[in-house]
Amino acid sequence: MPNNLRAKALSLLARREHSRQELQRKLEPLAESPEALETLLDELAGRRQQSDARYAENRVNIRGRRYGNQRLAQELRQAGLEDEAITEALASTEDELQRCQTVWQKKFGTLPDTPNERARQQRFLQYRGFSAGTIRTVLQGLSEDSYDE
């Protein structure tokens, strides 16, 4: 069974990066014992076949185009990553303000002219995980040439 467990783990990792917690959850039903699973996960991490830091970086690169730092950090915490790995991964992304402008421009494109429209745009950006300061800056309207970049 350990060879089957190893083969399944490598098969999962070949498809995409997995956090240690994700991999553990998926392999638990196949493991003979929790100790055997822990040993395998330690071995995979030791050989750098599984890396939480690599998972975080990959996840932030993929989801970072559409979401703010708060949402990305929450998703990484749910995947069982430590705060240090989350901070490093978020530091490698492009500026949150720029990402927020891009998302806002694609969805709305024009500044709100009523309080209801402003609230709607704020809720959308908050749901996407952008910080209040970033949202405020975008909705106050920046120079037109900042959108052309």
Q: Is the pTM here over 0.85, yes or no?
A: no
Which CATH number is associated with domain 96-146? 1.10.10
Q: Are 45 and 20 in contact (CB under 8 A)?
A: yes
pLDDT at position 147 is 41
Fold (CATH) for 52-93: Arc Repressor Mutant, subunit A (1.10.10)
How many residues belong to the chain? 149
Residue 127 has pLDDT above 80, yes or no: yes
Q: What is the DSSP letter of 80?
A: T
* Average pLDDT score, the chain: 90
3-state secondary structure at position 110: coil
Q: Are 53 and 86 in contact (CB under 8 A)?
A: no
Residue 149 has pLDDT above 90, yes or no: no
pLDDT at position 141 is 78
Residue 148 has pLDDT above 90, yes or no: no
Q: How confident is the model at residue 146 (pLDDT cuts 50, 70, 90)?
A: very low
Q: How far apart are CA 113 and CA 44, in angstroms?
A: 55
> Domain locations in the chain?
1-50, 52-93, 96-146
Q: What is the pLDDT of residues 18-74, one digit of tens each?
A: 999 999 999 999 999 999 999 999 999 999 999 999 999 999 999 999 999 999 999
Within the chain, residue ranges assigned H as helices are 2-15, 20-27, 34-46, 52-63, 69-78, 83-91, 96-107, 115-127, 132-139
Fold (CATH) for 1-50: Arc Repressor Mutant, subunit A (1.10.10)
Q: How confident is the model at residue 98 (pLDDT cuts 50, 70, 90)?
A: very high
Q: Are 81 and 39 in contact (CB under 8 A)?
A: no
